[in-house]
Structure 1
Amino acid sequence: MATVKKRSTLIIWKDVIFAIFLREIKSKFNDKLGIAWSVISPVSFIFLLSFIRGKMDGGNTHGIPTFFFMVYGMILVQFFLGMIETVSVSIKKNKPLYAFRQVQPISSVIAIAGFEFLVKVFVILTIAVLCLFLKMETQIDDPIEVMFIVVRVWLIATSLGLISALASCYVPELDKLRNLAMRPIFFISGIFFSLQDIPREYWHYLDWNPLLHAVELIRYAAYPAYGSEGVSYFYLDIVTIVLVFFSLACYHVSWKQAISR
C-alpha cells in the first residue's frame, strides 16, 4: 500500500515559489536574445551616459571616475523602476494559479522580486568582468554597505510594487497612472547629477526621494571622498521599514478580495 508523504506548509510554500520562479524564467527569456538583452541594454546605456557626462567634467565627478559615478546611479534606478514594473503585474499575471489552494499571491510577488534581484546581480557581475577586462581601476571601500543599500532599494521597490499590484486589482486604470508617476524618478534620483551640483537652497525639493539618498550613499560607500552631505542612512532605513510593514499590512487585509475581483 502506497504511503502519502505529508509536507509542511513551509516546504509547500518554498516549492510553489520555486515553480513560479522557473515559470518566470521561461516566460521572460523565450526570445532569441534571452537573458543577454537584460545585460546588454543597461550596460550600453551606462557607457553612453558615462561618455556624455565625461565630456562635461573631464572623466572625474566629485572624486569618483565618471563611469562608476554613472554605474551606481544607473544600476540602482533601473533596478528600482524594473522591480516596481514587474512586481506591480505579478498578482494579475499569475491569477489563474490561485485556483490551487497552495498558491497565494504573495508567492508570485516573492518569486518575481527574487528573479529580478538575481538578474540585476548578473548585470553587476557582467560590468565587473568588463571593468577587469578593460583594466579599469575600481574601488569599493565598504562592499557590505553597498550590498545593504541594494537590498534596501529592493525592499522599497518590492513594497511599492506590492501596493500597486493590490490597488490595480481594484482599479485597473492605476497601471497607467503608475507609469506616468514613475517617469520623473529617472530624472530626479541622481543618475546624471549629484546633490553637490545643485545649490543647497534647492535640496529640499529633491531630498524627500529615498532613491536619491540610496544613490548618493552607495557612491559614498564605494568612494568615501565623495561625501554624504544632504543624505541620510536613517531616512533611508525609516522609509524602508515603513513601506515594508505598510505593504504587508495592505496585503494581509485585502489579498482575498483583490484576487476575487
Structure 2
Amino acid sequence: MQNRFRANARFGGQRAIVALMLREMSTTYGRSPGGYIWAILSPVAAIAFLSLAFSAFFHTPPIGNSFAMFYATGMVPFLMFNDIQNKVSQSLMYSKQLLAYPKVTFLDALIARFLLNFMTQLLVAYIIFGGTMLFFEGTLSIDILTVLDGLLLAAQLGLGIGTLNCFIYLRFPVWQQMWSVLSRPLFLVSCTMIMFDGIPEPFRDWLWWNPLVHVVGLVREGFYDGYDGYYISSKYVMLVAMVCFALGLLFLRRHHRDLFER
C-alpha cells in the first residue's frame, strides 16, 4: 500500500510538471505572433549586429576566422543561462494560483519552467550553431561533448541562481528590480565579446570568479580545436550552482506558503 501511494504521488508530480510545461508553452510562446521564432531571431540579430560592427574595425576575430561564430560561442551559453535564470526566478509568481492545489508543489513549478526553457534554449543553440557553421565557418572540428558540457553548466547555473532568486523575489520584491540593474553588466564581464586570455592583470584574476567566464570558455574550447582553456574550472561552476540551488530550495521549503499569504 505504501509503495502504491508513493508511485501515485510520483505519477501525480510528473503530470503536474507536464501540465505546467504545456501551460507555459501556450501562454509564453503561443500568444505572440512570432512565438518560438522570436526566441531564435533575437540572438541571431544580436550576433549579426556584433559581427558587422566589429568586422568593420578588425580583420579577424580574437580566435578563428568568423566573427559570427566567435560571438555565437559567447552569446549562446550566456543567453541560455540568462533565460533559464529569469524564468526559474519567476516560476512561483507565474504559477501562484496553481500552487493552491495540493497536487501542485513549488518544486513542480521550478522543474517545469527549467525543463521547458532548457529544451527551448538547446534548440536555439542547435539552430544558431548549425546555421553559423553552414554559412560562415564550415571547417571547424567540434568536440560536441565539450560543447554540451558547457551548455549544461550554463543551464545548471541558471537553475541554481534562479532558484535562490525565486525565494528572494518573494521575500524582498524590490530585489527583482535591483537584480535587473545589477545583472546587466554580466554580458560584458562574462567574456562573451572578448577572450579571457587577452584581459590584463589584475582584472583577469577578478573576472575568474565570474562562473559565466568558465561556461563561455568551455563552449569555445569545444568549438576551436587547439584552444587551451587552462583557466576553466567546471567544479567551481557546479559548486556555485549547487550552493545557490540548495539554499533556494531550503528557504522555499520553509517559507514559500508564508510568503504567499503576506
Determine if the TM-score, normalized by the shorter chain, exceeds 0.5. yes
Confirm or deny: 8 A CA contact 2:146 2:221 kept in the other structure: no
Quote how far apart the aligned CAs of 1:242 are.
Answer: 2.5
Letter of the structure 1 residue corresponding to residue 144 of structure 2: P
After TM superposition, list the pairs within 5 Å mapping 1:195-234 onto structure 2: 195-234=196-235
What's 2:78 paired with?
A: 77
Quote how far apart the aligned CAs of 1:186 are.
Answer: 1.2
Q: Are positions 1:165 and 2:166 aligned together? A: yes
Confirm or deny: 8 A CA contact 2:142 2:225 kept in the other structure: yes
Q: What are structure 2's unaligned runs of at least 5 residues?
A: none
Tell me, in whole angstroms, the C-alpha distance in 1 between the residues paired with 2:233 and 2:240. Answer: 11
Confirm or deny: 8 A CA contact 1:64 1:226 kept in the other structure: no
Tell me, in whole angstroms, the C-alpha distance in 1 between the residues paired with 2:114 and 2:256. Answer: 18
After TM superposition, list the pairs within 5 Å mapping 1:50-61 onto structure 2: 50-61=51-62
Confirm or deny: 8 A CA contact 1:81 1:182 kept in the other structure: no
What's 1:191 paired with?
A: 192
Quote how far apart the aligned CAs of 1:25 are.
Answer: 0.6
User: What is the root-mean-square deviation in Å for CA atoms of aligned residues?
Assistant: 2.1
Quote how far apart the aligned CAs of 1:80 are.
Answer: 1.6
The secondary structure found in structure 1 opposite 2:249 is helix
Give CA-to-partner distance per residue, 1:131-153, whole Å, 9 cap, x none: 36526315353211211221111
Give CA-to-partner distance per residue, 1:149-168, whole Å, 9 cap, x none: 21111111111111111112
Quote how far apart the aligned CAs of 1:64 are.
Answer: 5.8
Aligned length: 257
Quote how far apart the aligned CAs of 1:190 are.
Answer: 0.8
What's 2:8 paired with?
A: 8
Q: Which moved more, 1:81-90 or 1:128-137?
A: 128-137
The secondary structure found in structure 1 opposite 2:226 is helix
**Any runs of at least 4 consecutive aligned residues in structure 1 with deviations exceeding 4 A, and if so which?**
none
The secondary structure found in structure 2 opposite 1:160 is helix
Tell me, in whole angstroms, the C-alpha distance in 2 between the residues paired with 1:93 and 1:237. Answer: 27
Tell me, in whole angstroms, the C-alpha distance in 1 between the residues paired with 2:141 and 2:257. Answer: 45
Change (3 A) 1:138 1:165: farther
Q: What are structure 1's unaligned runs of at least 5 residues?
A: none
Identity among equivalent pairs (%): 23
After TM superposition, list the pairs within 5 Å mapping 1:244-255 onto structure 2: 244-255=245-256
Quote how far apart the aligned CAs of 1:116 are.
Answer: 1.1
Give CA-to-partner distance per residue, 1:13-69, whole Å, 9 cap, x none: 000000000000111121211111111111111121122233344234234633222
Confirm or deny: 8 A CA contact 1:53 1:192 kept in the other structure: no
Confirm or deny: 8 A CA contact 2:69 2:133 kept in the other structure: no
Tell me, in whole angstroms, the C-alpha distance in 1 between the residues paired with 2:136 and 2:157. Answer: 34
Q: Which moved more, 1:190-199 or 1:18-27?
A: 190-199
Give CA-to-partner distance per residue, 1:190-235, whole Å, 9 cap, x none: 1111112211332122111000111112111222422213332332
Q: Are positions 1:22 and 2:9 aligned together? A: no
Tell me, in whole angstroms, the C-alpha distance in 1 between the residues paired with 2:48 and 2:139. Answer: 16
Change (3 A) 1:98 1:148: same
